[in-house]
Amino acid sequence: MADEGRDGDDDATATADERSSSHNLCKTKESGDSSESVVDLISSMPDDILQHILSFIPTRFAISTSILSRRWRHVWSDPPYLHFYEDRPDADSINKILARNKAPKIMSFRLRTSNLDDSADLDSWIKFALSRNVENLSLDLEWGFFNIPQLLYVSSSVKLLSVKSSLSDMIPKCSVSWTSLKKLSLFSCNLSDESIANILSGCPILEKLRLHYCDGLTKVLDLSKSPRLKTFVVYNDNYWPGPTKIVAPHIRCLGLRTSPLLCHLVDFLSLTEANVEISCISEEDIPDADSLYIMALEMLDKYQNVETLSFGDNFLKILSLAELRGSLFPKFKVKALTIETTVSHYIIPGIVRLLQNSPELKKLTFVDTGDHNCIPDSYIDENLFSHGLDPDQYWSSEARVFKNTTPLWSLEAQAVVLFIELVLKTTKTLEKMVLSAYSKQQMSPL
Q: Are residues 118 and 150 in the same domain?
A: no
Is residue 137 one of the residues assigned to a domain? no
Q: Are residues 346 and 419 in the same domain?
A: yes
Backbone angles phi, psi at 126, to 5 degrees: -65, -40
Is residue 168 one of the residues assigned to a domain? yes
Q: Are residues 406 and 352 in the same domain?
A: yes
- Specify the higher pLDDT residue, 89 or 313: 313
In this model, does residue 76 exceed pLDDT 70? no
Confidence of residue 33 (pLDDT cuts 50, 70, 90): very low
- pLDDT for the residue numbered 212: 92
- What is the domain count for the chain? 3
Q: Are residues 323 and 191 in the same domain?
A: no
Is residue 289 one of the residues assigned to a domain? no
Is residue 23 one of the residues assigned to a domain? no
The residue range of the domain holding 416 is 297-446
Is residue 25 one of the residues assigned to a domain? no
Report which of 90, 103, 153 is spatially closest to residue 126, judged by C-alpha positions.
Answer: 153
CA distance 327 to 50: 61
pLDDT average, residue stretch 334-346: 91
Share of the chain above pLDDT 70, in %: 72
Is residue 22 one of the residues assigned to a domain? no
Residue that finishes a domain, picked among 130, 159, 178: 130
In this model, does residue 47 exceed pLDDT 90? no
From the number of C-beta atoms within 10 Å of its C-beta (0-12, 13-18, 19+), residue 95 rates as middle
pLDDT average, residue stretch 100-106: 84
Confidence of residue 244 (pLDDT cuts 50, 70, 90): confident
Q: Are residues 265 and 306 in the same domain?
A: no
Share of the chain above pLDDT 90, in %: 37
Letter string b/e over residues 3-33, b meaning 16 or more CB atoms within 10 A of that residue's CB: ebbbbbbbeeebeeeeeeeeeeeeeeeeeee
Residue that finishes a domain, picked among 271, 287, 321: 271
Is residue 5 one of the residues assigned to a domain? yes
In this model, does residue 433 exceed pLDDT 90? yes
Is residue 288 one of the residues assigned to a domain? no
Residue that finishes a domain, picked among 236, 256, 271: 271
Contact 294, 272 (CB under 8 A): no
Q: Are residues 169 and 266 in the same domain?
A: yes
Residues facing residue 213 across a β-bridge: none
- pLDDT for the residue numbered 171: 85
Q: Are residues 371 and 320 in the same domain?
A: yes
In this model, does residue 37 exceed pLDDT 60? no
Q: Are residues 169 and 219 in the same domain?
A: yes
Q: Are residues 108 and 152 in the same domain?
A: no
Q: Are residues 155 and 126 in the same domain?
A: no
Residues facing residue 160 across a β-bridge: 136, 183
In this model, does residue 290 exceed pLDDT 90? no
In this model, does residue 332 exceed pLDDT 60? yes
What is the tens place of the pLDDT at every residue in 182-212?
Answer: 999 999 888 999 999 999 999 999 999 999 9
Q: Are residues 230 and 126 in the same domain?
A: no
| Max CA separation in the chain (angstroms) | 89
What is the rounded average pLDDT for all residues in the chain?
A: 79
In this model, does residue 440 exceed pLDDT 60? no
In this model, does residue 335 exceed pLDDT 80? yes
Q: Are residues 189 and 265 in the same domain?
A: yes
